[in-house]
Structure formats: C-alpha cells, structure tokens
Amino acid sequence: MRLNDSPAHQNPAAAKMSVAVIQFAPGTRPSDNLAALREQVGIASERGAEVVVAPEYSMYAVSRLDERVVAVAEPLTGPFASGLGAIAAEYGLHLVAGMVEKAEPGSERIRNTLVAFDPAGTLIARYRKVHLYDAFGQRESDVVEPGAIETPATFAAGGVTFGMQTCFDLRFPEGFRRAAVAGAQVLLLPAQWIPGPAKVDQWTTLVRARAIENTVYVAAADQAAPRGAGASMIVDPAGRILAELDDRPGVLSADIDLEELAAVRSVNPSLALRRFAITERSAE
C-alpha cells in the first residue's frame, strides 16, 4: 500500500542510483536495534546510498515467535517506526525495515510489517506480510495476522519505483509479479531466512529467479547469523549477483541503472509477453 497519492514514476530518463542492504542480527531490545541500524545506515550513507533496506523483524527478533513478540508490538506511530523516520531524515535517504506492528484492539496476534520512510522522515508506504511462515517446523500464523491482499506497496525514489515483499513471500512468485506489473523496477526483500539444510541455496535460487522472471532488480536484506542465514544480496534484472554477503553483519551496495533495465527488457520482454493474469484468493 502506498500512503501518498503521487503516482509512481514509470519512465524516467537514464535514472541511476545507489541502493544499500543492511545485514545485522537484531535482538530483543528495540532501542538497541535502532542504534545498530543507525550505525549501519550511516555507513551506507557514506557510500552514497539513496535507498537503504534492512531485514524483516529489525525491531525485535527471536528464534521462535511467541507471546513475547505480541507484548512488544507497536503502532506505526510508535517509538520504533518514529526512530526509523528520524534515521531516514538524519541521513537524507529512503529507509525500509521490518517491524512488529500492533494489530487491531482485541487481537492476540501482531502484524509483520515493512515500513518505508522518505528523506524527510515521513512514512510513505507499508506492506504487511501476506504469506506466513508455516513451514519447516515453524508456525508464524499462530502469532501473526496475514496481511490483506491490497494494491501492491510501491514508492518512488530518485526516478526509480520500488516494491516490497517479505521473506517467505519469496516462495510465491505472484506477489513479485503483481509489484512488477504495478511498475516496480526494484523489489526490496527484507527477511529473516531461518538457517537450515539447503536454505541458502534455495534463497539464492529464488532471489535470482524473481529478478529474472520479472526483469527487475532485487535487493534482499536478510538477518545475520544466528537467527538468519545471511547471504543478503543485490541482483540485477538478468539474474546476475552484483553484491552479496556471507552470514556476518555487513553493508553492501550496488547501482540501480534503468538504462540497463531497459536493455534487459528489450532483449527479454517477458513482462510484455505474459498471457496469464493472477487470480487472487483472500487470506483467511
């Protein structure tokens, strides 16, 4: 969902900008996590980043969700989101991160929400995770409400249109396709990709596939070890990995080049050639 009414810029002239991905290991103190984010956003800013993306659950992270995460949930106007806006304003860039959002009054669950702030510190977009991680022995839906099927969450920055998806959404290509059809040229993917056998191979394969099939850049920000598998990366529209990390904390960056995107799409016009529409089923 886009929170402002301005249309996404679809056809800028030769836009080129730097995007950075933050990989860190958030814990259970939101204020400490904000401090860690601020430090790494500062590094990204020094490298010239105009858009910075941080992991899923940047606000509060545990190995298995339970009542603790419900207890710390905040509204989009709460201290953590406000702190993210202040960081974006301090460094004059766009900042996207995952937070634990308080659900409607009376709910015993939370929302797994991505928030995007502009260089003025204003919340301009938010996305609530649609596909919940009820797999590999986990039950995210016990604690998290699935997001509603809404207009794809996009925002414009520096003449480039960005879309957002979260972690387990990566295994469902429809959300990425909807965002690409809505105009996204870069897909931002905050994640807490739980480690396990073959999980990094699956992550890498799926991130590259989403880039290739939609001819978009993908900037994927995972949590560092031990609660995340790491392997954060930025992939170009042809599926080439432009930058990647191991499982340790770090900051990576790469250029988004719309001339390169246009060149890839001229050779591989798969979006224009698609013949199937997406049929949506409401989350229960």
**Cα separation of 80 and 73, whole Å?**
10
Is 56 one of the annotated active-site residues of the chain?
yes
**Whether the Cβ atoms of residue 30 and residue 79 lie closer than 8 Å to each other:** yes
**Cα separation of 185 and 200, whole Å?**
25
Peptide bond into 226 cis (omega under 30): yes
Is 260 one of the annotated active-site residues of the chain?
no
**Cα separation of 153 and 160, whole Å?**
14
Choose the catalytic residue: 74, 101, 102, 129.
Answer: 129
In sign, the C-alpha dihedral spanning 108, 95, 150, 133 is negative
Q: Which helix (H) or strand (E) holds 34?
A: helix 30-46
**Whether the Cβ atoms of residue 48 and residue 253 lie closer than 8 Å to each other:** yes
The neighbouring-strand residues paired with 18 are 255
In sign, the C-alpha dihedral spanning 80, 86, 91, 96 is positive
Choose the catalytic residue: 56, 101, 140, 145.
Answer: 56
Is 145 one of the annotated active-site residues of the chain?
no
Choose the catalytic residue: 74, 140, 167, 244.
Answer: 167
Q: Where are the beta strands (DSSP E) in 63-122?
A: 94-102, 110-117
Q: Tokens for 20, please give them.
A: 């950075």
Supply the residues annotated as catalytic: 56, 129, 167
